[in-house]
Structure 1
Amino acid sequence: MTRSALRRGDVRAVVLLAIVTVAAAGVLFARGAAEPSGTESSATSTSTSTSASLVPSRATTALWVGDSYTAGVGRIDNASYARIVCLRMGWACNVDAEGSTGFLDDGAAEYQGVTSRLPARLDFDKATFDADAIIVDAGRNDLEVPFDVLIGAIDDYVSDLREGWPDARIVIIVPTFMSPEKYDNYDELVAGIDAIAAKVGGQVLDPVARGWYANVDIPSMQIEDRVHPNAVGNAYLAGVLERDLRELGLGDLTAPEGPQ
Protein backbone atom coordinates (compact mmCIF):
# COMPACT_ATOMS: atom_id res chain seq x y z
CA MET A 1 0.00 0.00 0.00
CA THR A 2 1.35 3.44 -0.98
CA ARG A 3 0.63 6.20 1.49
CA SER A 4 0.80 9.94 0.86
CA ALA A 5 0.83 12.95 3.14
CA LEU A 6 -1.44 15.97 3.64
CA ARG A 7 -0.86 18.25 6.64
CA ARG A 8 -2.37 21.52 7.82
CA GLY A 9 -0.86 24.83 8.91
CA ASP A 10 2.72 25.98 9.20
CA VAL A 11 3.14 24.26 12.52
CA ARG A 12 3.02 20.74 11.12
CA ALA A 13 5.96 19.78 8.96
CA VAL A 14 5.76 16.77 6.69
CA VAL A 15 8.34 15.79 4.14
CA LEU A 16 8.23 12.54 2.18
CA LEU A 17 11.36 12.01 0.14
CA ALA A 18 11.64 8.58 -1.56
CA ILE A 19 14.35 7.47 -3.95
CA VAL A 20 14.35 3.83 -5.00
CA THR A 21 16.94 2.13 -7.20
CA VAL A 22 15.91 -0.80 -9.36
CA ALA A 23 18.75 -2.88 -10.81
CA ALA A 24 17.36 -4.11 -14.13
CA ALA A 25 19.15 -3.50 -17.40
CA GLY A 26 20.74 -0.44 -15.84
CA VAL A 27 17.36 1.28 -15.42
CA LEU A 28 16.98 3.76 -12.57
CA PHE A 29 13.50 4.05 -11.11
CA ALA A 30 12.69 7.20 -9.16
CA ARG A 31 9.46 7.84 -7.31
CA GLY A 32 8.94 11.52 -6.49
CA ALA A 33 8.34 12.94 -3.04
CA ALA A 34 4.76 13.45 -1.91
CA GLU A 35 3.50 16.97 -2.50
CA PRO A 36 1.55 18.96 0.07
CA SER A 37 -1.54 18.44 -2.07
CA GLY A 38 -1.17 14.70 -1.66
CA THR A 39 -0.26 14.12 -5.30
CA GLU A 40 2.44 11.64 -6.25
CA SER A 41 4.60 11.14 -9.28
CA SER A 42 5.58 7.64 -10.39
CA ALA A 43 7.15 5.77 -13.25
CA THR A 44 7.43 2.15 -14.32
CA SER A 45 10.54 0.81 -16.04
CA THR A 46 10.35 -2.00 -18.61
CA SER A 47 13.27 -4.24 -19.50
CA THR A 48 14.03 -4.03 -23.22
CA SER A 49 15.34 -7.60 -23.23
CA THR A 50 12.33 -9.29 -21.61
CA SER A 51 9.56 -6.66 -21.96
CA ALA A 52 8.61 -7.49 -18.35
CA SER A 53 7.14 -4.76 -16.15
CA LEU A 54 9.22 -4.10 -13.02
CA VAL A 55 7.50 -3.14 -9.75
CA PRO A 56 9.97 -1.36 -7.45
CA SER A 57 10.19 -1.76 -3.70
CA ARG A 58 9.68 1.40 -1.68
CA ALA A 59 12.53 3.22 0.00
CA THR A 60 13.49 2.66 3.61
CA THR A 61 11.33 5.16 5.48
CA ALA A 62 11.56 6.99 8.80
CA LEU A 63 8.80 8.74 10.73
CA TRP A 64 9.79 11.43 13.23
CA VAL A 65 7.12 12.49 15.71
CA GLY A 66 7.55 15.47 17.97
CA ASP A 67 7.32 19.18 18.65
CA SER A 68 8.95 22.41 17.44
CA TYR A 69 12.44 21.01 18.02
CA THR A 70 11.66 18.17 15.65
CA ALA A 71 9.98 20.38 13.08
CA GLY A 72 12.70 23.03 13.11
CA VAL A 73 11.99 26.69 13.81
CA GLY A 74 13.33 29.94 12.41
CA ARG A 75 12.88 29.03 8.73
CA ILE A 76 15.04 25.92 9.08
CA ASP A 77 12.76 24.01 6.70
CA ASN A 78 14.64 21.10 5.12
CA ALA A 79 17.74 21.80 7.22
CA SER A 80 16.13 20.50 10.43
CA TYR A 81 18.08 17.75 12.13
CA ALA A 82 15.42 15.12 11.38
CA ARG A 83 15.67 15.78 7.65
CA ILE A 84 19.47 15.93 7.67
CA VAL A 85 19.64 12.58 9.45
CA CYS A 86 17.31 11.01 6.89
CA LEU A 87 19.40 12.37 4.05
CA ARG A 88 22.60 11.00 5.54
CA MET A 89 21.03 7.64 6.35
CA GLY A 90 19.47 7.33 2.90
CA TRP A 91 15.93 7.25 4.29
CA ALA A 92 12.70 8.66 2.95
CA CYS A 93 11.63 11.19 5.57
CA ASN A 94 8.26 11.82 7.19
CA VAL A 95 7.98 14.40 9.96
CA ASP A 96 4.85 14.85 12.09
CA ALA A 97 5.84 17.68 14.41
CA GLU A 98 3.79 20.52 15.88
CA GLY A 99 5.05 23.33 18.07
CA SER A 100 4.17 23.43 21.79
CA THR A 101 2.70 19.92 21.72
CA GLY A 102 3.55 16.70 23.52
CA PHE A 103 2.04 13.45 24.71
CA LEU A 104 -0.43 15.50 26.77
CA ASP A 105 0.00 19.14 25.70
CA ASP A 106 -2.08 20.07 22.66
CA GLY A 107 -0.43 23.47 22.17
CA ALA A 108 -3.76 25.27 22.55
CA ALA A 109 -2.31 28.03 24.74
CA GLU A 110 -0.15 29.20 21.86
CA TYR A 111 -1.82 27.95 18.70
CA GLN A 112 -5.54 28.18 19.55
CA GLY A 113 -6.66 24.80 18.25
CA VAL A 114 -4.42 24.59 15.19
CA THR A 115 -2.23 21.95 16.83
CA SER A 116 -2.97 18.72 18.66
CA ARG A 117 -1.16 16.35 21.00
CA LEU A 118 0.67 13.30 19.66
CA PRO A 119 -2.04 10.69 20.42
CA ALA A 120 -4.65 12.78 18.56
CA ARG A 121 -2.41 12.72 15.46
CA LEU A 122 -1.71 9.01 15.55
CA ASP A 123 -4.66 7.76 13.49
CA PHE A 124 -3.67 10.11 10.68
CA ASP A 125 -0.07 8.94 10.86
CA LYS A 126 -1.10 5.28 10.75
CA ALA A 127 -3.23 5.87 7.68
CA THR A 128 -0.65 8.03 5.94
CA PHE A 129 2.90 6.91 6.56
CA ASP A 130 4.98 3.84 5.95
CA ALA A 131 7.68 3.58 8.60
CA ASP A 132 10.61 1.22 9.01
CA ALA A 133 11.98 3.42 11.80
CA ILE A 134 9.98 5.66 14.15
CA ILE A 135 11.85 8.25 16.19
CA VAL A 136 9.76 9.74 19.01
CA ASP A 137 11.23 13.12 19.93
CA ALA A 138 8.66 14.68 22.24
CA GLY A 139 7.71 15.42 25.82
CA ARG A 140 9.51 18.72 26.40
CA ASN A 141 6.18 20.50 26.73
CA ASP A 142 4.89 17.92 29.24
CA LEU A 143 7.62 18.19 31.85
CA GLU A 144 5.45 20.11 34.32
CA VAL A 145 2.92 17.26 34.38
CA PRO A 146 3.09 14.86 37.37
CA PHE A 147 5.53 12.05 36.63
CA ASP A 148 3.06 9.16 36.85
CA VAL A 149 0.63 10.93 34.50
CA LEU A 150 3.34 11.65 31.93
CA ILE A 151 4.84 8.16 32.01
CA GLY A 152 1.36 6.67 31.59
CA ALA A 153 0.71 8.85 28.54
CA ILE A 154 4.05 7.87 26.99
CA ASP A 155 3.32 4.20 27.66
CA ASP A 156 -0.09 4.36 25.99
CA TYR A 157 1.26 6.23 22.98
CA VAL A 158 4.22 3.93 22.39
CA SER A 159 1.98 0.85 22.71
CA ASP A 160 -0.30 2.32 20.03
CA LEU A 161 2.74 3.00 17.84
CA ARG A 162 3.75 -0.65 18.03
CA GLU A 163 0.23 -1.71 17.13
CA GLY A 164 0.26 0.56 14.09
CA TRP A 165 3.71 -0.46 12.87
CA PRO A 166 4.38 -3.96 14.24
CA ASP A 167 7.70 -4.37 12.42
CA ALA A 168 9.18 -0.88 12.74
CA ARG A 169 12.22 -0.02 14.80
CA ILE A 170 11.11 2.39 17.54
CA VAL A 171 13.56 4.82 19.13
CA ILE A 172 12.47 7.14 21.95
CA ILE A 173 14.58 10.22 22.68
CA VAL A 174 14.40 11.25 26.34
CA PRO A 175 12.90 14.79 26.29
CA THR A 176 15.58 17.40 26.91
CA PHE A 177 16.38 20.97 26.02
CA MET A 178 19.86 22.06 24.97
CA SER A 179 21.56 21.59 28.31
CA PRO A 180 23.96 19.04 29.82
CA GLU A 181 22.15 19.33 33.17
CA LYS A 182 19.47 16.94 34.39
CA TYR A 183 16.15 18.46 35.40
CA ASP A 184 14.11 17.22 38.39
CA ASN A 185 12.96 13.60 37.99
CA TYR A 186 15.18 13.13 34.94
CA ASP A 187 16.58 9.80 36.12
CA GLU A 188 13.11 8.54 36.99
CA LEU A 189 11.84 9.54 33.56
CA VAL A 190 14.74 7.76 31.86
CA ALA A 191 14.02 4.60 33.85
CA GLY A 192 10.32 4.81 32.97
CA ILE A 193 11.02 5.32 29.27
CA ASP A 194 13.53 2.44 29.29
CA ALA A 195 10.81 0.15 30.65
CA ILE A 196 8.28 1.37 28.08
CA ALA A 197 10.72 0.84 25.21
CA ALA A 198 11.59 -2.66 26.43
CA LYS A 199 7.90 -3.67 26.33
CA VAL A 200 7.69 -2.96 22.59
CA GLY A 201 11.21 -3.99 21.62
CA GLY A 202 12.23 -0.34 21.22
CA GLN A 203 15.40 1.56 22.07
CA VAL A 204 16.16 4.76 23.97
CA LEU A 205 18.54 7.66 23.38
CA ASP A 206 19.44 9.60 26.53
CA PRO A 207 21.00 12.93 25.42
CA VAL A 208 22.50 13.66 28.84
CA ALA A 209 24.07 10.22 29.29
CA ARG A 210 25.42 10.36 25.74
CA GLY A 211 26.91 13.80 26.30
CA TRP A 212 25.15 15.61 23.48
CA TYR A 213 25.52 18.98 25.18
CA ALA A 214 28.68 18.45 27.21
CA ASN A 215 31.67 20.65 26.38
CA VAL A 216 29.99 22.39 23.45
CA ASP A 217 29.18 26.07 22.90
CA ILE A 218 25.41 25.86 23.36
CA PRO A 219 24.56 29.59 22.89
CA SER A 220 26.17 29.54 19.44
CA MET A 221 23.77 26.74 18.45
CA GLN A 222 20.52 28.43 19.53
CA ILE A 223 18.17 31.00 18.04
CA GLU A 224 17.39 34.22 19.91
CA ASP A 225 14.97 32.53 22.31
CA ARG A 226 17.88 30.51 23.78
CA VAL A 227 15.71 27.41 23.58
CA HIS A 228 15.58 26.09 20.02
CA PRO A 229 18.52 25.05 17.82
CA ASN A 230 19.55 27.34 14.97
CA ALA A 231 21.08 26.10 11.71
CA VAL A 232 24.37 25.31 13.44
CA GLY A 233 22.51 23.54 16.24
CA ASN A 234 20.45 21.48 13.82
CA ALA A 235 23.59 20.42 11.96
CA TYR A 236 25.24 19.49 15.25
CA LEU A 237 22.22 17.51 16.46
CA ALA A 238 22.03 15.72 13.13
CA GLY A 239 25.61 14.61 13.64
CA VAL A 240 25.12 13.17 17.12
CA LEU A 241 21.80 11.61 16.17
CA GLU A 242 23.23 9.94 13.09
CA ARG A 243 26.12 8.59 15.15
CA ASP A 244 23.85 7.25 17.88
CA LEU A 245 21.23 5.80 15.52
CA ARG A 246 23.97 3.94 13.67
CA GLU A 247 25.29 2.71 17.00
CA LEU A 248 21.83 1.32 17.73
CA GLY A 249 22.00 -0.59 14.44
CA LEU A 250 19.69 1.53 12.32
CA GLY A 251 22.35 2.19 9.71
CA ASP A 252 21.60 -1.21 8.17
CA LEU A 253 17.84 -0.71 8.17
CA THR A 254 16.09 -1.78 4.96
CA ALA A 255 12.50 -1.69 3.77
CA PRO A 256 10.60 -4.94 3.22
CA GLU A 257 11.05 -6.31 -0.29
CA GLY A 258 8.25 -6.18 -2.81
CA PRO A 259 5.54 -3.60 -3.58
CA GLN A 260 3.78 -2.00 -0.63
Structure 2
Amino acid sequence: MRWRDLALGAAALTTLVGAAVVLGPDVATPGHTPNEAAGPTTDSVTSDTATPMSALFIGDSYTVSSNFTELSYVCRAAVQMRWKCDVSAIPGSGYISGGEANRFPLAGEPGSSTSIPERVPSLAAEYSPDVVVLDGGRNDLFPPAEDVGKAMAYTLGEARRAWPHATLVFLRPRYLVNPGDNLGFDDDFMTRLEADPAAAGVVFLDPIADPELAGRDTSDLLGPDHQHPNSLGEQRLADALVAALRAHGVGVSP
Protein backbone atom coordinates (compact mmCIF):
# COMPACT_ATOMS: atom_id res chain seq x y z
CA MET A 1 0.00 0.00 0.00
CA ARG A 2 1.41 3.41 -0.95
CA TRP A 3 0.91 6.45 1.29
CA ARG A 4 1.52 9.97 0.12
CA ASP A 5 0.95 13.45 1.55
CA LEU A 6 -0.58 16.17 -0.54
CA ALA A 7 -1.01 19.90 0.10
CA LEU A 8 -4.16 21.77 -0.80
CA GLY A 9 -4.67 25.51 -1.02
CA ALA A 10 -8.17 26.90 -1.34
CA ALA A 11 -8.88 30.61 -1.82
CA ALA A 12 -7.71 32.46 1.29
CA LEU A 13 -7.71 29.27 3.31
CA THR A 14 -4.69 27.00 3.55
CA THR A 15 -5.48 23.50 4.71
CA LEU A 16 -3.05 20.60 4.80
CA VAL A 17 -4.31 17.50 3.07
CA GLY A 18 -2.60 14.16 3.77
CA ALA A 19 -3.74 11.36 1.49
CA ALA A 20 -3.46 7.64 2.02
CA VAL A 21 -4.83 6.27 -1.21
CA VAL A 22 -4.56 2.93 -2.94
CA LEU A 23 -6.17 2.61 -6.32
CA GLY A 24 -7.17 -0.88 -7.39
CA PRO A 25 -9.86 -2.64 -9.43
CA ASP A 26 -13.45 -2.61 -8.34
CA VAL A 27 -15.28 -5.84 -7.66
CA ALA A 28 -18.43 -6.38 -9.69
CA THR A 29 -21.51 -7.36 -7.76
CA PRO A 30 -24.66 -9.03 -9.09
CA GLY A 31 -26.93 -6.50 -10.77
CA HIS A 32 -24.57 -3.68 -9.87
CA THR A 33 -21.60 -2.01 -11.52
CA PRO A 34 -19.23 -0.60 -8.92
CA ASN A 35 -16.37 1.73 -9.74
CA GLU A 36 -16.56 2.52 -7.66
CA ALA A 37 -24.94 20.98 11.66
CA ALA A 38 -26.65 23.69 13.63
CA GLY A 39 -25.50 25.95 10.83
CA PRO A 40 -21.95 27.32 10.64
CA THR A 41 -20.75 28.90 13.83
CA THR A 42 -17.63 30.86 14.65
CA ASP A 43 -16.72 28.07 17.06
CA SER A 44 -16.23 25.67 14.16
CA VAL A 45 -13.57 27.86 12.53
CA THR A 46 -10.01 27.69 13.78
CA SER A 47 -7.74 30.71 13.65
CA ASP A 48 -4.82 30.90 11.25
CA THR A 49 -2.39 30.21 14.10
CA ALA A 50 -4.35 27.38 15.71
CA THR A 51 -3.69 23.75 14.95
CA PRO A 52 -6.50 22.64 12.63
CA MET A 53 -8.68 19.71 13.46
CA SER A 54 -7.97 16.61 11.40
CA ALA A 55 -10.26 14.09 9.74
CA LEU A 56 -9.53 10.61 8.43
CA PHE A 57 -11.83 9.34 5.68
CA ILE A 58 -11.79 5.57 5.12
CA GLY A 59 -13.61 4.11 2.15
CA ASP A 60 -13.69 3.07 -1.49
CA SER A 61 -13.30 4.70 -4.91
CA TYR A 62 -16.19 7.07 -4.17
CA THR A 63 -14.17 8.45 -1.28
CA VAL A 64 -11.47 9.48 -3.74
CA SER A 65 -13.15 9.26 -7.13
CA SER A 66 -10.45 11.12 -9.04
CA ASN A 67 -6.72 10.58 -9.00
CA PHE A 68 -6.34 13.98 -7.36
CA THR A 69 -7.21 13.22 -3.78
CA GLU A 70 -7.21 16.85 -2.77
CA LEU A 71 -10.11 17.38 -5.23
CA SER A 72 -12.19 14.50 -3.86
CA TYR A 73 -15.50 15.39 -2.29
CA VAL A 74 -14.29 14.42 1.18
CA CYS A 75 -11.24 16.69 1.04
CA ARG A 76 -13.32 19.50 -0.45
CA ALA A 77 -15.62 19.09 2.53
CA ALA A 78 -12.61 19.09 4.87
CA VAL A 79 -11.44 22.40 3.38
CA GLN A 80 -14.86 23.93 4.06
CA MET A 81 -14.72 22.57 7.62
CA ARG A 82 -11.12 23.83 7.93
CA TRP A 83 -9.86 20.37 8.73
CA LYS A 84 -6.69 18.57 7.76
CA CYS A 85 -7.76 15.79 5.39
CA ASP A 86 -6.35 12.25 5.39
CA VAL A 87 -7.78 9.57 3.11
CA SER A 88 -7.48 5.79 2.96
CA ALA A 89 -9.37 4.53 -0.08
CA ILE A 90 -9.23 1.24 -1.96
CA PRO A 91 -11.57 1.02 -4.97
CA GLY A 92 -13.75 -2.06 -4.85
CA SER A 93 -13.33 -2.50 -1.10
CA GLY A 94 -15.92 -2.33 1.63
CA TYR A 95 -16.70 -3.64 5.08
CA ILE A 96 -16.42 -7.15 3.59
CA SER A 97 -15.36 -6.67 -0.02
CA GLY A 98 -11.61 -6.79 -0.56
CA GLY A 99 -11.13 -8.68 2.66
CA GLU A 100 -10.05 -12.21 3.44
CA ALA A 101 -12.81 -13.96 1.49
CA ASN A 102 -12.37 -12.09 -1.80
CA ARG A 103 -9.07 -10.24 -2.04
CA PHE A 104 -7.98 -8.81 -5.37
CA PRO A 105 -4.67 -7.38 -6.66
CA LEU A 106 -4.18 -3.62 -6.55
CA ALA A 107 -3.62 -1.93 -9.89
CA GLY A 108 -0.14 -0.43 -9.96
CA GLU A 109 0.45 -1.23 -6.30
CA PRO A 110 2.15 -4.10 -4.47
CA GLY A 111 0.07 -6.47 -2.41
CA SER A 112 -3.61 -7.23 -2.30
CA SER A 113 -6.74 -5.42 -1.22
CA THR A 114 -7.92 -5.04 2.35
CA SER A 115 -11.36 -4.41 3.76
CA ILE A 116 -12.13 -1.27 5.75
CA PRO A 117 -11.91 -2.92 9.21
CA GLU A 118 -8.60 -4.56 8.28
CA ARG A 119 -7.09 -1.13 7.62
CA VAL A 120 -7.97 0.30 11.01
CA PRO A 121 -4.95 -1.00 13.01
CA SER A 122 -2.31 0.29 10.58
CA LEU A 123 -4.14 3.61 10.20
CA ALA A 124 -4.36 3.96 13.98
CA ALA A 125 -0.58 3.60 14.17
CA GLU A 126 -0.12 6.47 11.73
CA TYR A 127 -3.00 8.90 12.34
CA SER A 128 -4.57 10.54 15.40
CA PRO A 129 -7.62 12.23 13.86
CA ASP A 130 -10.24 14.30 15.62
CA VAL A 131 -12.90 12.92 13.27
CA VAL A 132 -13.05 9.49 11.59
CA VAL A 133 -15.48 9.13 8.69
CA LEU A 134 -16.42 5.67 7.38
CA ASP A 135 -17.56 5.89 3.76
CA GLY A 136 -18.11 2.39 2.40
CA GLY A 137 -20.65 -0.35 1.78
CA ARG A 138 -21.25 0.28 -1.91
CA ASN A 139 -19.25 -2.81 -2.85
CA ASP A 140 -20.84 -5.02 -0.18
CA LEU A 141 -23.99 -5.89 -2.10
CA PHE A 142 -23.10 -9.54 -2.72
CA PRO A 143 -23.07 -10.95 0.87
CA PRO A 144 -26.26 -11.34 2.92
CA ALA A 145 -27.32 -8.04 4.44
CA GLU A 146 -27.12 -9.57 7.93
CA ASP A 147 -23.43 -10.32 7.41
CA VAL A 148 -22.76 -6.82 6.12
CA GLY A 149 -24.49 -5.35 9.17
CA LYS A 150 -22.27 -7.41 11.46
CA ALA A 151 -19.18 -6.28 9.56
CA MET A 152 -20.26 -2.65 9.83
CA ALA A 153 -20.86 -2.98 13.57
CA TYR A 154 -17.52 -4.72 14.00
CA THR A 155 -15.80 -1.88 12.13
CA LEU A 156 -17.44 0.71 14.37
CA GLY A 157 -16.16 -1.16 17.41
CA GLU A 158 -12.65 -1.42 15.99
CA ALA A 159 -12.63 2.29 15.10
CA ARG A 160 -13.78 3.24 18.58
CA ARG A 161 -11.03 1.15 20.16
CA ALA A 162 -8.46 2.63 17.79
CA TRP A 163 -9.53 6.25 18.26
CA PRO A 164 -11.37 6.46 21.60
CA HIS A 165 -11.45 10.26 21.65
CA ALA A 166 -12.37 10.89 18.02
CA THR A 167 -15.84 11.64 16.69
CA LEU A 168 -16.93 8.66 14.60
CA VAL A 169 -19.11 9.36 11.56
CA PHE A 170 -20.81 6.67 9.47
CA LEU A 171 -22.03 7.60 5.99
CA ARG A 172 -24.99 5.63 4.68
CA PRO A 173 -23.91 4.06 1.38
CA ARG A 174 -25.51 5.44 -1.77
CA TYR A 175 -24.57 6.34 -5.33
CA LEU A 176 -25.01 9.78 -6.85
CA VAL A 177 -26.44 8.26 -10.04
CA ASN A 178 -29.62 7.41 -8.08
CA PRO A 179 -29.54 9.18 -4.69
CA GLY A 180 -32.87 7.64 -3.65
CA ASP A 181 -31.58 4.07 -3.99
CA ASN A 182 -30.65 2.70 -0.56
CA LEU A 183 -28.74 -0.23 -2.13
CA GLY A 184 -30.63 -2.60 0.15
CA PHE A 185 -29.54 -0.79 3.31
CA ASP A 186 -33.07 0.33 4.09
CA ASP A 187 -34.38 2.17 7.15
CA ASP A 188 -34.90 -1.07 9.10
CA PHE A 189 -31.29 -2.08 8.39
CA MET A 190 -29.98 1.29 9.53
CA THR A 191 -32.16 1.26 12.66
CA ARG A 192 -30.70 -2.11 13.67
CA LEU A 193 -27.16 -0.89 13.02
CA GLU A 194 -27.65 2.29 15.02
CA ALA A 195 -29.05 0.24 17.92
CA ASP A 196 -25.96 -2.00 18.06
CA PRO A 197 -23.84 -1.34 21.18
CA ALA A 198 -20.82 -0.71 18.95
CA ALA A 199 -22.66 2.25 17.42
CA ALA A 200 -22.99 4.14 20.69
CA GLY A 201 -21.95 7.75 20.14
CA VAL A 202 -21.53 7.32 16.39
CA VAL A 203 -22.93 10.07 14.16
CA PHE A 204 -24.93 8.58 11.26
CA LEU A 205 -25.24 10.77 8.17
CA ASP A 206 -26.95 10.32 4.80
CA PRO A 207 -25.57 13.20 2.69
CA ILE A 208 -26.33 11.80 -0.76
CA ALA A 209 -30.01 11.65 0.18
CA ASP A 210 -29.93 15.44 0.62
CA PRO A 211 -33.11 16.87 -1.01
CA GLU A 212 -30.93 19.06 -3.22
CA LEU A 213 -29.57 15.84 -4.75
CA ALA A 214 -32.30 13.26 -4.28
CA GLY A 215 -34.95 15.43 -5.87
CA ARG A 216 -33.18 16.14 -9.16
CA ASP A 217 -31.65 14.59 -12.25
CA THR A 218 -28.01 14.05 -11.31
CA SER A 219 -26.70 13.08 -14.77
CA ASP A 220 -24.85 16.40 -15.08
CA LEU A 221 -22.99 15.56 -11.86
CA LEU A 222 -21.53 12.29 -13.14
CA GLY A 223 -18.24 11.52 -14.88
CA PRO A 224 -17.69 9.53 -18.08
CA ASP A 225 -18.39 6.22 -16.32
CA HIS A 226 -21.86 7.52 -15.30
CA GLN A 227 -21.13 6.21 -11.81
CA HIS A 228 -18.62 8.48 -10.11
CA PRO A 229 -19.06 12.23 -9.69
CA ASN A 230 -17.43 14.74 -11.99
CA SER A 231 -15.92 17.95 -10.60
CA LEU A 232 -19.34 19.57 -10.18
CA GLY A 233 -20.64 16.39 -8.56
CA GLU A 234 -17.69 16.31 -6.16
CA GLN A 235 -18.52 19.86 -5.06
CA ARG A 236 -22.23 19.12 -4.63
CA LEU A 237 -21.39 16.04 -2.54
CA ALA A 238 -18.95 18.09 -0.49
CA ASP A 239 -21.60 20.74 0.16
CA ALA A 240 -24.11 18.07 1.19
CA LEU A 241 -21.60 16.43 3.54
CA VAL A 242 -20.65 19.76 5.13
CA ALA A 243 -24.32 20.62 5.66
CA ALA A 244 -24.92 17.22 7.30
CA LEU A 245 -21.83 17.52 9.52
CA ARG A 246 -22.80 21.00 10.69
CA ALA A 247 -26.41 19.99 11.26
CA HIS A 248 -25.18 17.31 13.66
CA GLY A 249 -22.62 19.57 15.37
CA VAL A 250 -19.61 17.70 14.05
CA GLY A 251 -16.38 19.63 13.72
CA VAL A 252 -16.88 22.29 16.38
CA SER A 253 -13.49 23.11 17.82
CA PRO A 254 -12.93 22.22 21.48
TM bucket, shorter chain: 0.7 to 0.9
| Sequence identity percentage | 27
Paired residues, what number?
214
Determine if the alignment matches structure 1 residue 143 to structure 2 residue 138: no
Determine if the alignment matches structure 1 residue 71 to structure 2 residue 64: yes
Q: CA deviation at 1:116?
A: 1.3
DSSP-derived class of the 1:68 partner: coil
Determine if the alignment matches structure 1 residue 84 to structure 2 residue 84: no
DSSP-derived class of the 1:140 partner: coil
Q: Measure, in 2, the Cα distance between the counterparts of 1:208 and 1:86.
A: 17
1:150-165 to structure 2, matched below 5 A, reads: 150-165=148-163
Candidates 128, 131, 141, aligned match of 1:130: 128
Q: CA deviation at 1:104?
A: 0.6
1:105-124 to structure 2, matched below 5 A, reads: 105-106=97-98, 108-109=103-104, 111=106, 113-124=111-122
Contact 1:67 1:101 in 2 (8 A): yes
Tell me: CA distance 1:58–1:128, structure 2 relative to 1, closer, same or farther (3 Å): farther
1:49 equivalent in structure 2:
none
2:219 equivalent in structure 1:
219
Q: CA deviation at 1:123?
A: 1.1
Q: CA deviation at 1:198?
A: 7.1
Q: CA deviation at 1:32?
A: 7.2
Determine if the alignment matches structure 1 residue 103 to structure 2 residue 92: no
Contact 2:133 2:171 in 1 (8 A): yes
Q: CA deviation at 1:252?
A: 1.2
TM-score, normalised by the number of residues in structure 2 = 0.74
2:228 equivalent in structure 1:
228
The superposition leaves residues 42-79 of structure 1 with CA deviations (integer Å, 9 ceiling, x where unpaired) of xxxxxxxxxxxxxx974311111100000123x34311
2:53 equivalent in structure 1:
60
Contact 2:6 2:18 in 1 (8 A): yes
TM-score, normalised by the number of residues in structure 1 = 0.72
Task: Read off the aligned partner of 2:240 and give its amino acid letter.
Answer: V
Determine if the alignment matches structure 1 residue 188 to structure 2 residue 188: yes
1:241-260 to structure 2, matched below 5 A, reads: 241-254=241-254
1:23 equivalent in structure 2:
none
Q: Measure, in 2, the Cα distance between the counterparts of 1:91 and 1:124.
A: 22
More strand as a share of residues: 2
Tell me: CA distance 1:64–1:33, structure 2 relative to 1, closer, same or farther (3 Å): closer
Task: Read off the aligned partner of 1:233 and give its amino acid letter.
Answer: G
Task: Read off the aligned partner of 1:83 and give its amino acid letter.
Answer: C
Give the gaps of 5 or more residues in structure 2.
21-48
